[in-house]
């Protein structure tokens, strides 16, 4: 299965990778399990709501929110504490995580916190 997924990895303009399994609900569910097994929730909180690391479900992306940017954040890490998981996780597995994150609903009223 992994080789099939690798073969299907798309490439957008300028050679940036695109998510070959974008929108696949089964893959998103697998990604959700992985999110916990790989201890992503240890930094980003249960459901990616934010803890030591920022929220991954607010529709905001510090280092970019397109397929390639999220993929690279996970594979190569980012400054200020996001480790690089590329040595541990093959590309298809990383796309599962990307698919999971992309499948999380973003509340419409994210910018506003109000009290009656």
Which residue is associated with the tokens 């479900």? 57
Q: Smallest distance from the beta carbon of 15 to another protein, in angstroms?
A: 25
State both tokens at 55.
């929220």
User: Does the footprint of another protein cover residue 111 (CB under 8 A)?
Assistant: yes
Q: Which is nearer to another protein, 15 or 111 (CB)?
A: 111
Number of other CB atoms surrounding residue 31 within 10 Å? 24
User: What residues have CB less than 8 Å from 75, skipping those under 6 apart?
Assistant: 84, 85, 86, 89, 91, 94
User: Does the footprint of another protein cover residue 105 (CB under 8 A)?
Assistant: no
User: Does the footprint of another protein cover residue 116 (CB under 8 A)?
Assistant: no
Residue 2 burial by Cβ neighbours in a 10 Å radius (0-12, 13-18, 19+): exposed
Q: Of these, 15, 81, 105, 116, which contacts another protein (CB under 8 A)? A: 81
User: 9 to 68, contacts with another protein by CB under 8 A?
Assistant: 36-39, 41-43, 45-46, 49-55, 58, 60-62
Which residue is associated with the tokens 């690089």? 84
Residues of this chain that interact with another protein (CB under 8 A) are 36-39, 41-43, 45-46, 49-55, 58, 60-62, 79-83, 88, 107, 110-111, 113, 115
């Amino acid at each position: 299965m992994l080789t099939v997924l690798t073969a299907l990895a798309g490439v957008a303009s300028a050679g940036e990778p695109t998510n070959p399994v974008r929108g696949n609900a089964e893959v998103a569910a697998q990604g959700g399990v992985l999110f916990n097994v790989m201890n992503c929730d240890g930094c980003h909180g249960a459901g990616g709501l934010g803890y030591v690391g920022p929220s991954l479900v607010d529709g905001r992306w510090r280092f970019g929110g397109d397929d390639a940017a999220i993929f690279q954040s996970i594979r190569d890490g980012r400054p200020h504490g996001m480790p690089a998981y590329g040595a541990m996780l093959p590309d298809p597995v990383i796309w599962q995580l990307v698919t999971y994150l992309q499948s999380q609903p973003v509340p419409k009223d994210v910018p506003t916190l109000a009290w009656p």
